[in-house]
Structure 1
Amino acid sequence: MMPLPWRRSVRGRLLLLILTPILLTLAALIALTAYWTTTYTNRQLYMKVASDLAVARSTLQLMQDRQLENLELLGHTWSLPPYLLHHDRGALNALLQDMKSRYRVDFLRILSPDELLDLASTPSGTQTNVNRLLGGNSIKGLSVLTPSEMNEIDPDLPQKALTQIIQTPRAKPTDRTFEDRGMFVRTLHPILDANGQLLYVLDAGLMLNNNLEFVDQIRDLVYGQDALPERGIGTVTLFLGDTRITTNVPVDLNYDLSDTGFIRAIGTRISSEVHNRVFVEERIWLDRAFVVSDWFISAYEPLYGLNNELIGVLYAGFSESPFFEMYLRTLGEMGLTLTFVLLISAILVWRSANHLFHPIQRIHTSVMAVRSGSNQTRIGQLRNEDEFSDLAHQFDSMLDELDARQETIRQAAERLEQKVKERTLSLQLKTEALEESLELLKATRAELFTKEKLAVLGELTAGIAHEINNPAAVILGHMDLLQSELGPSASLVQEEIDTVIEQVYRIRAIINNLLQYSRPGQVIDQLHTLAVNDVVKDTLALVRHALDKKCIQVQQNYEYLGEIEGNRQQLQQVLINLLLNAANAMPAAGNIWVSTHAWTTHDGAPGVEIRIRDEGVGISEDVQARIFEPFFTTRENGNGLGLSISRSLARRYGGDITVSSTLDTGSQFSIFLREKAVINQEDEETMRQLLSGFGVV
Structure 2
Amino acid sequence: MSLPLHQSVKGKLLTLTLIPIVLTLLALIGLTAYWTSSYVNRQLYMKVAADLSVARSTLQMMQDRQLERLQQLSNAWHIHRNMTDDQRSLLNALVNQIRDRHDFDFLRLLDMQQLEQARQNEPSLAPLIAQAMEGKGIKGLSVIELEEMRHIHPDLAELATIQVVPTPRARPSDKSRETRAMFVRTLYPVFDADGEPAFLLDGGVMLNHNLQFVDTIRELVYGPDTLPEGGIGTVTLFLDDIRITTNVPAPGSQLTDTLQERAIGTRISEEVYNRVLDEELMWLDRAFVVSDWYVSAYEPIYDLHNQLIGVLYAGFSEGPFIRAYLRTLLELGAILAIILLISALLVWRSASQLFAPVKRIHQSVMEVRAGNNQARIGRLDTGDEMADLAHHFDAMLNELDARQTTIRQSAERLEHLVEERTLSLTRKTLELVEHIELLKATREELFTKEKLAVLGELTAGIAHEINNPAAVILGHMDLLQAELGPDAADVQEEIDTVIEQVYRIQAIINNLLQYSRPDQVIDQLQVIDINRTIEDTQALVRHALDKKGIGITLDFTEICDVEGNRQQIQQVLINLLLNAANAMENKGNILVRTRPWHAPDGAEGVCIHVEDRGQGISEAVLDKIFDPFFTTREGGNGLGLSISRSLTRRYGGDLRVKSTPGHGSTFTVLLRAKALIRHDDEATMQQLLAGLGVA
TM-score normalised according to structure 1 size:
0.48
Higher radius of gyration, 1 or 2: 2
TM-score normalised according to structure 2 size:
0.49
